[in-house]
Amino acid sequence: MLGMKLGGVEGRSSWGRMLTSDAFSALLMGSVVFSLKQTTHVMRHDGSNDHSFPSGHTATAFMTATMLAKEYGHKSPWIGIGAYSVATATGLMRMANNKHWLSDVLTGAGIGILSTELGYYLADLIFKPPLYG
DSSP secondary structure letter of residue 129: P
What percent helix, strand, coil does the chain show, rounded to 5? 70, 0, 30
Banded pLDDT at 130 (limits 50, 70, 90): low
120 exposure class (CB count in 10 Å sphere: 0-12, 13-18, 19+): buried
**Model confidence pLDDT, tens digit, residues 105-118:** 999 999 999 999 99
Enclosing H/E stretch for 5:
helix 2-6
* pLDDT score of 31 more than 60: yes
Domain residue ranges in the chain: 15-127
CB-based contact 112:87 (threshold 8 Å): yes
Whole-angstrom Cα Rg for the chain: 16
What's the whole-model pTM score?
A: 0.93
